[in-house]
Amino acid sequence: MHTVLELRDITKKFGHQVALNHISLSIQRGDIYGLIGRNGAGKTTILKIIVRLLQQDRGDILLFGSSTKKDYFKQLKRTGSVIETPVANNQLTAEQNLIYYCKMKGIVDKNAVLEALNFVGLANTGKKKFKNFSLGMKQKLGLAIALLSKPDFLILDEPINGLDPIAIVEFRNMLIKLNQTQQMTILISSHVLGELYQMSTRFGIIDNGSIIKEFTKEEFETQSREYIHLQVDKPNLATTILNQLGIKSLKVVDSKTINIYDFSVDNTEIVKQLTLAHIKISTIVKEHINLESYFKTTIEPGEDINHV
Ligand X SMILES: Nc1ncnc2c1ncn2[C@@H]1O[C@H](COP(=O)(O)OP(=O)(O)OP(=O)(O)O)[C@@H](O)[C@H]1O
Q: Which residues bind ligand X (CB under 6 A)?
A: 14, 17, 19, 37, 39-45
Nearer to ligand X, 85 or 244 (CB): 85
Nearer to ligand X by Cβ, of 44 and 231: the residue is 44
Instruction: Please tell me the distance from the alpha carbon of residue 3 to that of residue 65, in angstroms, as a whole number.
Output: 7
Measuring CA to CA, which residue among 151, 150, 159 is closest to residue 113?
A: 150
Question: Closer to ligand X at the Cβ: 37 or 86?
Answer: 37
User: Which CB sits closer to ligand X, 44 or 93?
Assistant: 44
Q: Say how many CA atoms lie within 13 Å of 297 toward its Cβ.
A: 20
The full length of the chain comes to 308
Closest by Cα among 147, 152, 142, 149 to 185: 152
* 62, β-bridge pairs: 6
Exposure on the CB side of residue 159, measured as CA atoms within 13 A: 32
Shortest spacing between CB 10 and ligand X, in angstroms: 12
- Map residue 177 onto helix, strand or coil: helix
CB of 16 to ligand X, least distance (A): 10
Shortest spacing between CB 154 and ligand X, in angstroms: 18
How far apart, in whole angstroms, are the C-alpha atoms of residue 47 and residue 88?
Answer: 19
Please give the C-alpha separations between residue 201 and each of 58, 160, 196, 197, 246, in angstroms, as whole numbers. 29, 18, 9, 8, 38
- Which residue lies nearer to ligand X by CB, 191 or 248? 191
CA distance 48 to 183: 23
CB-nearer residue toward ligand X: 86 or 235: 86
